[in-house]
């Protein structure tokens, strides 16, 4: 379902991760698929970071990113699109925090600590402030202001910064036009 007024767009923040297969290709394909969705426009994309595994550590390193997008989708509908995109790109949920071709996490809504709480979705993501692999890319794309300060403060409190390494800078075409494909 979408909001009825086209001007009712929300800015959303999504964390991306992959540690199986061609990680870089999978992340960029996921971004393109989201951008092609008629109700989603990707606005900004972070750099790509290679990160040590979290939780279940006996697995390959991840590539992690974050993106900001504009959408007319309600939060639950956006979550469904994210899950469908994961599945389309080969995501299998076998081991909690285990290896995966793609992980898409809905992190924030409307560039603030806007609260959303339902059976399937809690915003802001309840553990984002504990995870450098989320905060570091997020800090690349959040505009200056209270939320950016929150992210920086959370990053300053966490240890393990050596476990997050810039992999490559991404130059996203930030126009609002959707691609023709």
Select the more confidently predicted residue: 2 or 160: 160
Does the annotation count 131 as an active-site position? no
What letters, b where the CB count within 10 A reaches 16 and e where it falls short, cover 96-130? eeebbbbbbbbbbbebeeeebeeeeeebbbeebbe
Residue 5's pLDDT is what? 38
The catalytic residue among 23, 44, 103, 140 is 103
Residue 63's pLDDT is what? 96
The catalytic residue among 8, 93, 105, 140 is 105
Read off the pTM: 0.85
Q: How far apart are CA 110 and CA 50, in angstroms?
A: 27
Domains of the chain and CATH, by start: 10-168 (3.30.70.560)
Residue 134's pLDDT is what? 93
Which has the closest alpha carbon to 137: 110, 179, 172, 113? 172
Pairing verdict, β 116-117 and 164-168:
unpaired
The catalytic residue among 22, 94, 100, 127 is 100
**181 — pLDDT class (breaks 50, 70, 90):** very low
Does the annotation count 156 as an active-site position? no
Q: How far apart are CA 172 and CA 32, in angstroms?
A: 10
Does the annotation count 22 as an active-site position? no
Residue 110's pLDDT is what? 78
Residue 97's pLDDT is what? 58
Question: Which residues are registered as beta bridge partners of 66?
Answer: 15
Does the annotation count 100 as an active-site position? yes
Q: What is the pLDDT of residues 94-112, one digit of tens each?
A: 655 567 789 999 998 875 5
Q: Is the pLDDT of residue 65 over 90?
A: yes
Q: 63 phi and psi, to 5 degrees?
A: -105, 130
Residue pair 46/66 in contact by the 8 Å Cβ criterion:
yes
The catalytic residue among 36, 44, 91, 127 is 91
Please give the torsion angle defined by the CA atoms of residues 86, 90, 96 and 99, in that order, rounded to the nearest 10 degrees: -120
Residue pair 174/43 in contact by the 8 Å Cβ criterion:
yes
What does the chain come to in residues? Answer: 181
């Amino acid at each position: 379902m979408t909001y009825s007024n086209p001007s009712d767009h929300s800015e959303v923040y999504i964390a991306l991760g992959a540690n199986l297969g061609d990680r870089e290709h999978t992340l960029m394909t996921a971004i393109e698929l989201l951008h092609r969705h008629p109700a989603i426009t990707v606005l900004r994309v972070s750099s790509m970071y290679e990160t040590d595994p979290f939780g279940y550590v006996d697995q390959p390193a991840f590539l992690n990113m974050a993106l900001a997008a504009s959408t007319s989708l309600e939060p639950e509908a956006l979550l469904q699109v994210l899950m469908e995109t994961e599945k389309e790109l080969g995501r299998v949920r076998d081991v909690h925090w285990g290896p995966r071709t793609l992980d898409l996490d809905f992190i924030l809504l409307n560039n603030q600590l806007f609260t959303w709480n339902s059976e399937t979705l809690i915003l802001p993501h309840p553990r984002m402030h504990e995870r450098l692999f989320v905060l570091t890319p997020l800090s690349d794309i959040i505009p200056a202001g209270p939320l950016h300060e929150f992210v920086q403060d959370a990053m300053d409190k966490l240890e393990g910064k050596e476990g997050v390494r810039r992999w490559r800078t991404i130059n996203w075409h930030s126009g609002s036009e959707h691609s023709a494909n």
